[in-house]
Amino acid sequence: MIRSTTNKPPFDVVRCSHAVLGATDLGASEQFYAQHLGYVVTERTPDALYLRNLECRTHHSLVLQRLPEPTCEALVWKVANEDDLDLASRWFQSKNLPAAFVERHGQGRTLRTCDALGMPLEFYFSMTSAPCKLQQYDDYRGARIQRLDHFNCFSPDVQKSYEFWSELGFRLTEYTVSEESNNALWAVWLQRKGGVHDIAFTNGRGPRLHHFAGWVPSVSDLVHSCDLLSTAGYVKNIERGLGRHGIGNALFLYLLDPDGHRIELFCSDYLTVDPDLVPKRWEFRDARRQTLWGMPAPRSWFEHGTPFPNVGVVDPLIKPQPVLAH
Ligand SMILES: [Fe+2]
């Protein structure tokens, strides 16, 4: 069921900022992300790698922590003001959810909490500055990713995820309903910054992170990434694409990093800032929603994801079977 947008959320989230991911071999991760995808290394510590994309003006847009398991430690968000952190803390406490201020390298005050299904979330306002590389073209490498675009998560209860994030002022741009399940929500795309999404939820065993996505300026960056990765020993890391989703009009390429975290390279969505934008409805059996050109996704795309630490994973409430390629 679709609900009206909350125009006055309890605190002001600007955009998705970065994921904090567990990495079992930081050297292998650095080779993949920095050497081949072109992430800029802001800082290496004994236990972490702080990476940023080309247009980032701050310390990190991806954090890899040396951990024994490839988990997603947090999905991290930038808020509009310091005061929003206090408003957020009070709001999460009012929902009987954890809310604690924690120390994070390169960031100001950071609030750690979770969403209604237990996904670990962090919110901050300030981050240490770093040089923007947007017009340092001689530093461009690999996929030439400019910034983080969005997170996509498996949810066992998409309706519940949608209602939670809508209450925080996230606006629905597109959604899929399952005709076989009484038109229940199968997936939602929700935004704060004016693109198609800052976060999306897809029906599946969860909660788990499905992928995070880097925004690239053109389709040629996707083609170049395929050429580069396939000839640099990473052909098995190319999971899906390139192609165009019907949803979001997005050109996509899905990759698996050395730990199995999925990263999407992404471009070609559209502006969604109008407050009266009518969300686009898709039906589950319309195969063009997942690939406009008709090529189905592989099974792994619907089943493989990154777990959150100490968060139980459960089967989804609805179980329509997607069309698979293999
Ligand atoms: Fe995506």
The Å distance, Cα 90 to ligand 1 centre, comes to 31
The Å distance, Cα 83 to ligand 1 centre, comes to 30
The Å distance, Cα 249 to ligand 1 centre, comes to 11
* Nearby residues for ligand 1 (ion, Cβ within 5 Å): 152, 213, 264
Three-state DSSP at 65 gives strand
pLDDT over 90 percentage in the chain? 91
The Å distance, Cα 152 to ligand 1 centre, comes to 6
Going by pLDDT thresholds of 50, 70 and 90, the confidence category of residue 4 is: confident
Query: Quick one: average pLDDT of 141-149?
Result: 97
Query: Quick one: average pLDDT of 284-306?
Result: 91
pLDDT of residue 325: 67
Do strands 72-79 and 120-124 pair parallel, antiparallel, or not at all (unpaired)? parallel
Q: Identify each DSSP E strand in the chain by its residue range.
A: 13-23, 40-45, 48-52, 62-66, 72-79, 99-102, 110-114, 120-124, 147-155, 171-178, 184-191, 199-203, 208-215, 238-244, 251-256, 262-267, 280-283, 306-307
Average pLDDT along the chain: 96
